[in-house]
Amino acid sequence: MAKKRTIFTCTACGHETGRWLGRCPSCGLYNSFEESVVEKKPADRRGDLRSPVSIGRAKLINQTSSLEEDKFPTHISELDRVLTGGIVPGSLILLGGEPGIGKSTILLQICKNQDFPILYVSGEESPGQIALRAQRLGQFGDNLHLLAQTDIAAIEAEIESIAPALLVIDSIQTMSHPDLTSAPGSVTQVRETAAFFMRLAKERAMATIIVGHVTKDGNIAGPRILEHMVDCVLYFEGERSGGFRIIRAVKNRFGATGEVGIFEMAAQGLAAIANPSEYMLSGRPINAPGSVITCSMEGSRPILAEVQALVAATRAHNPRRVVSGMDYNRVNMLLAVLEKRAHLNLSEADAYINVAGGMKLTEPACDLAAIAAIAASCKNQAVDAQTLIFGEAGLAGEVRAVNNVQRRIDEGAKLGFTAAVVPQANLKGLKRPEGVKVYGAGNVNELIDLIFS
């Protein structure tokens, strides 16, 4: 059976979209779109295999408009920063994160700020439950449609009738493809239903956000296998219990990757944190052994973070190593470097390393902070609370140069830090902010001498 669908065509150049646009992205004319209803052939299953972007004939690059101008902002400043300006029509975005971290909340906040038709499909909650959450977030317009459904055929029918410019699928693990017998959430179901939504998104120029749950180990069937399919992958970080949340773009075909948005879960949904460094340091113990402040470049932004270490003697044959917020293997390497090069006795001690606030530090530039924290806990001696420490450590115990040193030091100075220990190799050409002493460390022993002298 042929299905009807509404399209908008530019009367000047023939550009087609799934929603009305004020200005044609192809030829730049204003008010040139005309609405028409077309009959759509029943879906050809083999046709699903073709690339969703392989439509039409070859175009000259100079006559092809970039998708940049089509982007619509989410009007959530921290999120627009992550998406480099906004969402591209027809793009498929994967929003991953642990259950309860705030995915549904931020999605509703995105929906709240738009005026075009939106379809919010939930396979987890009833419209009543979603409306209850929406009440906390403020006033919604008449453009947001809620649908509790898991069958993708039924969802497609609803899309045909509403013709949304934005589709939200919450979550992909609950969706089921009628042609498949495996349970929702299985790899095949997740992959096939995502492919289905991708085809719809591209055909209708309908931006689509799909939610994917990940567990703590990030190993569940789902988001990871989707990463290569979608245009953009956003991950939520943070502790469910704490208020602080980070949204990170790990892949973005339409903008910068690595950029982060920083939020706090408040009573009215997620609110941007104006000064992340200050927030990360609030409530830190002053002059406690094992607490060290470092500066990590999160996307284009320097952010201060607290690395904590607790080293305690043990009689166990295999001492415990517990790491949260940093790479487990990297920390083990640093422990070995300290043992071998700085002669700290760590093989008979349990070591716990934690990054405060649920932040994840992925940069090698944070090595020295972990080293300093471990050494401090081991010696039971505090590192000065107003000293910022960063730099990469090598296996020979050498301290290696890192990038953006000036910006990291300036960020520390802004928050009242009076000293910084940085790689020796980075000292050249550095401008020292007023009131900040900058010391260079060439190896881990020099670092330890500097911070405990």
Q: Where are the beta strands (DSSP E) in 171-300?
A: 207-213, 232-238, 244-252, 260-266, 269-272, 291-298
32 touches Mg ion by CB under 5 A: no
The residue among 103 and 202 lying less far from ligand TYD, judged by its C-beta, is 103
The answer to whether residue 215 forms part of the interface with ligand TYD (CB under 6 A) is no
Find the binder of ligand TYD among 133, 251, 340, 379 (CB under 6 A). Answer: 133
Distance in angstroms (rounded) separating the CA atoms of residues 97 and 193? 19
- Rounded to a whole number of angstroms, the minimum distance from the CB of residue 108 to Mg ion is 10
Q: What's the token pair of residue 327?
A: 């790479």
The nearer residue to Mg ion, 174 or 176, going by C-beta atoms, is 174
Phi, psi values for residue 417, rounded to 5°: -75, 140
Least CB distance to ligand TYD at residue 324 (A):
20
Does residue 104 belong to the site contacting Mg ion (CB under 5 A)? yes
Residue with the shortest CB distance to Mg ion: 104
- Tokens 């642990």 appear where? 98
Least separation in angstroms between residue 443's CB and ligand TYD is: 44
222 makes contact with ligand TYD (CB under 6 A) = no
DSSP per residue over 271-321, as a string? EE-S-HHHHHHTTPPTT-TTEEEEEEEETTEEEEEEEEEEEEE---SS--E
Q: Is residue 109 part of the contact set for Mg ion (CB under 5 A)? A: no
Determine how β-strand 244-252 pairs with β-strand 260-266: antiparallel
With binding defined as CB under 6 A, does residue 239 bind ligand TYD? no
Asked if residue 358 binds ligand TYD (CB under 6 A), the reply is no
CA angle 350, 355, 358 (to 5 degrees): 125
Encoded one letter per residue, x for contact with ligand TYD by CB under 6 A and - for no contact, window 248-277 reads -----------------x-xxx--------
Selected from 18, 86, 96, 97, the binder of ligand TYD by CB under 6 A is 97
Residue 354 contact, options Mg ion, ligand TYD, none, Cβ 5-8 Å cut-off depending on partner type:
none
Minimum distance from residue 193 beta carbon to ligand TYD (Å): 18
Question: How much of the chain is in helix, strand and coil states, percent to nearest 5?
Answer: 30, 30, 40
Asked if 233 is part of the footprint of ligand TYD (rule: CB under 6 A), the reply reads no
Cβ count near 332 (within 10 Å) = 14
Of 60, 14, 51, nearest to 34 by C-alpha is: 14
Residues 303/277, Cβ–Cβ less than 8 Å: yes
Binding positions for Mg ion, rule: CB under 5 A: 104
Binding positions for ligand TYD, rule: CB under 6 A: 97, 99-105, 133, 136, 265, 267-269
